[in-house]
Structure 1
Amino acid sequence: MLTVLAYLMVGVFMAAIMTNRLSALIALIVIPIAFAAMAGFTTQIPDMAIDGLKTIVPTAVLMLFAILYFGLMIDVGLFDPLVRFVVRICHGDPVRVIVGSAILAMVVSLDGDGSTTYMICITAMMPLHRRLGINPMILPAVTMLPNSILNIAPWGGPTVRVMSSLKLSPSEVFVPLAPTVFITCLAALSIAYYLGLTERRRLGLVDIVKGGSAPKAGSDELEDVPVRAVVDRPVWLQRFNLALTVSLMAVLVLDIMPLALLFMLAFAIALTVNFPKVRDQRARIDAHSSNVMNVVSVIFAAGVFTGVLSGTGMTDALAKSVIYIIPDGGGRFLPLMTAFLSMPFTFFLSNDAFYFGVVPVLAKAAQSYGIGADVIARASLLGQPVHQLSPLVGALYVLIGLSKVELGAHQRFSLKWSVLLCAVMFVSAGITGAVPWF
């Protein structure tokens, strides 16, 4: 009976999320409590929920201060010099423009938020792409592909969800994947270079100095959609912000300090140095409070979901049923199976439904074969390039809206490149040992 209720709960949860009957926040709270009550655990539900919340606190703190930090860096114009540099070195060469667009997206994607990346990159590069006559499908593609890779950063949505559902730390999930992320980023740049070559053959080079279809680099036509209205920022402050961010990334990779504390400290330093006045500090925090609340509230709700799922024994029941249907000798391929399943599952399901409803079951089943939850967690992240094309991804509508392309056309153009990046991830993760093939 517990197994049946467990499957029903996962099914109802997925259906509620996919059909927009309930938001992720409400579904993560209400559905597990309702099914736990049906299973006869009414009196134990509060303790289960609190136990789940305790395990989720570090992840929630990490997300809170990571969003605040990168939001502040965008506010103070940390990425503006890079945008201007990319525009100025592109000249009239489609290869430079397209590869430059991909590099810009790669850097801005470090904030872990797809919507922010799309807003900055599309508004910065769209005028140049249009005036050169570049295929309008290319800019959204080369912006989305790097973002889909760096979306698995420790503060990115998918990684936060899988860490929350499996109670893992960033050092267990992301650090072993770092070489894979680097290799796949190179693959994304290679795709951008190939697309640039095809456009160069079609369009040729445009002399933007003597005139032509493109404006001069740095002209008003390229500056009319600024990324941020940053005025009179001292040079020393820009250098300080860059040094602080580089140091933050270095310490993050070295894993010498808990990430939650690391981002708390970095944000406190950055906010104090950039905005010494308390009223200005409050204004910056208020400006990003909406994004913070939307993300962190879901993380806390996930603590209730995982706490109840584990406390009632439903996780064990689901895992045993999955083990039962795995053919003899097939269990050792669970990491590879999880990696392949992550493509269609994250396309047709939201990240919430997949990482809170499916991955815990796979991880529990893998334990019976001596496969750690961290391996399954990393494998489940390898389908993110395809997930970014899912109509369930809200940021996708920001991308196509700014790019002025149709959703179906964008999916048809980008899908093959997304699948190629997934293949690169599978192979590189297997070679580096982050996700053993068997």
Structure 2
Amino acid sequence: MLALIGLLTILTVLLTIVSKRLSPLVALIVLPIIGAMFAGLGQQIPEFLVKGITSIAPVAVMFMFAILFFGIMNDNYVFAPFINAVLKLCANDPRKLFVGVVLITALVHLDGSGASTFLIVIPAVLPVFDAMQIRRRKLAALVAMSAGVNNMLPWGGPTIRAAAALDIPVMELYAPLFPVHLSGFIFVVVIAFWMGVRERVSHTGNATQPEPTSATTLLPHTTDLRWLLNICLIVAVIGCMITGIVPPVIAFLGGAIIALLLNSTSQDAQKTSIEKHAAPVFMMVSILFAAGCFTGILKHSGMLDAMATSGSELLPGALAQNIPLVVALSSMPLSLLFDPDSFYFGIMPVLSGIAVDSGLPATSVAHAALLGQMTTGFPVSPLTPATFLLIGLTNISLADHQRYTLPLLACISFFMTAVALILGLIPA
């Protein structure tokens, strides 16, 4: 009975979110409460909610301060000297330019926000592509590849959701995945260079076209003492987080406070800086806490365990044993069907439970999902607003963008899957 109620609850959540009848915030809180009431667990619902919210709190707080921290850095053009240097080094060589775009995107995407990345990178680089008569869909593809792979960062939306859904520390989930992430990014650089070689061969632009180092293509910046302190602060925060000297939430909390004091000297300036990033932070954090309510009810009521047991019994043994591999191979195209909330909070916990019942670690499914589901898949998914911002800024159609970029993103996802198989993160 619990398994059936849990399944119906998850399906209802998925349908209402995908059909846009309910917002994720409402669906993730209200529907599991109704499910628990049908299961006769009404009196225990507050306890389930508190446990779920408590487990999600460190992840939500880390995300909040990470977005504020990197948002402050972008607001103060801390990365502008590196971006401008890459543009100057590219000259009129498509090979250098394409690789440069990938590096710039990776740098800007440290804040984990696809929308802000596209808003910074596209306007800065688009005049160069137009001057060199390079098709804009190639710029969109390069930015999508780099932003997609680097959406696997431990403070990125998919990784945060996966850690929250499994109730494990985010660095514990991400650390084994780092070599896969790094190899995926190197593969993106290789693809960018290959695209540049092909573009150079076919390029027929006018030799007298303007250099891409025109002042209109460069971002404003000053390399003063405050800029140097900001760079040191970024290195210190990321270094503390990766080495585990302090928990990630403390690293970003401290980093955000220091960044505010360093870059906003007055109370009004600090308030303005916080308010600028308040809307996206609130939306994501509220969804994370709603997801805590969702997983708290499903987990502590026994629904997830019941569904996992039933699923492992119904699925053929060979399929159950290879669920991580199936998820990895289908993770990128699943971005076209499921938004990140419905997948990571609705589908992945059930698949992880089935994997555990089959003798596999729950994290193997999360690692598999992160190889494509709203990582490499998010810049082409019609379910993410950032995709429409990307094609809007480059002025290309969604169909043209998907036809050109989807095969490239699929290759990257399959390559990372192969690396994950070799490293044993995905059981073969």
Question: Which range, TM-score by smaller chain?
Answer: over 0.9
Offset of residue 337 of structure 1: 2.3
Q: Is the contact between residue 327 and residue 365 of structure 2 (CA under 8 Å) also seen in structure 1?
A: yes
Residues 4-403 of structure 1 aligned to structure 2 (within 5 Å): 4-204=4-204, 207=207, 212-213=208-209, 215-223=210-218, 226=219, 233=222, 235-383=224-372, 384-403=375-394
- Matched position secondary structure for 2:57: helix
Offset of residue 282 of structure 1: 1.4
- Matched position secondary structure for 1:370: coil
Given the alignment, which residue of 383, 392, 404 partners 1:413? 404
Cα gap change, 1:343/1:217 in structure 2, threshold over 3 Å: closer, same or farther?
Answer: closer
Offset of residue 424 of structure 1: 1.2
- Matched position secondary structure for 1:391: coil
> How many angstroms apart in 2 are the aligned matches of 1:221 and 1:61?
38
Q: Is the contact between residue 92 and residue 205 of structure 1 (CA under 8 Å) also seen in structure 2?
A: no
> How many angstroms apart in 2 are the aligned matches of 1:17 and 1:379?
23
> How many angstroms apart in 1 are the aligned matches of 2:287 and 2:93?
44
Offset of residue 358 of structure 1: 0.9
Q: Is the contact between residue 94 and residue 205 of structure 1 (CA under 8 Å) also seen in structure 2?
A: no
> How many angstroms apart in 2 are the aligned matches of 1:380 and 1:222?
37
Deviations 1:78-97 (A, max 9, x none): 11112211221121112222
Offset of residue 189 of structure 1: 0.8
Which structure 1 residue ranges, 5 or more long, are not aligned?
A: none
Amino acid in structure 2 at the alignment position of 1:49: L
Offset of residue 47 of structure 1: 1.0
- Matched position secondary structure for 1:385: coil
- Matched position secondary structure for 2:213: coil
Deviations 1:96-132 (A, max 9, x none): 2211111111111111111111111101100100111
Offset of residue 312 of structure 1: 2.1
> How many angstroms apart in 2 are the aligned matches of 1:418 and 1:290?
30
Offset of residue 374 of structure 1: 2.1
- Matched position secondary structure for 2:336: helix
Amino acid in structure 2 at the alignment position of 1:255: G
> How many angstroms apart in 2 are the aligned matches of 1:205 and 1:85?
23
> How many angstroms apart in 1 are the aligned matches of 2:75 and 2:142?
24
Offset of residue 255 of structure 1: 2.1
Offset of residue 364 of structure 1: 1.1
Moved more, 333-342 or 106-115: 333-342
Which structure 2 residue ranges, 5 or more long, are not aligned?
A: none
Q: Is the contact between residue 98 and residue 195 of structure 1 (CA under 8 Å) also seen in structure 2?
A: yes
Q: Is the contact between residue 93 and residue 205 of structure 1 (CA under 8 Å) also seen in structure 2?
A: no
Aligned-pair Cα RMSD in Å: 1.6
> How many angstroms apart in 1 are the aligned matches of 2:216 and 2:123?
12
Moved more, 270-279 or 416-425: 270-279
- Matched position secondary structure for 1:134: coil
> How many angstroms apart in 2 are the aligned matches of 1:71 and 1:357?
30
> How many angstroms apart in 2 are the aligned matches of 1:99 and 1:427?
23
> How many angstroms apart in 1 are the aligned matches of 2:223 and 2:164?
40
Amino acid in structure 1 at the alignment position of 2:343: F
Amino acid in structure 1 at the alignment position of 2:237: L
Offset of residue 29 of structure 1: 1.0
The total of aligned residue pairs comes to: 426
Moved more, 322-331 or 125-134: 322-331
Q: Is the contact between residue 151 and residue 158 of structure 2 (CA under 8 Å) also seen in structure 1?
A: yes
- Matched position secondary structure for 2:322: helix
Deviations 1:389-431 (A, max 9, x none): 2111121011011010000110010111011001111011122
Deviations 1:155-181 (A, max 9, x none): 111111111111011222111111111
Amino acid in structure 2 at the alignment position of 1:116: S
> How many angstroms apart in 1 are the aligned matches of 2:264 and 2:272?
10
Amino acid in structure 2 at the alignment position of 1:256: I
1:437 aligns with 2:427: yes
> How many angstroms apart in 1 are the aligned matches of 2:93 and 2:330?
39
Moved more, 364-373 or 21-30: 364-373
Q: Is the contact between residue 135 and residue 199 of structure 1 (CA under 8 Å) also seen in structure 2?
A: no
Identity %: 34
Q: Is the contact between residue 56 and residue 167 of structure 1 (CA under 8 Å) also seen in structure 2?
A: yes
Amino acid in structure 1 at the alignment position of 2:342: A
Q: Is the contact between residue 388 and residue 396 of structure 1 (CA under 8 Å) also seen in structure 2?
A: yes
Amino acid in structure 2 at the alignment position of 1:395: A
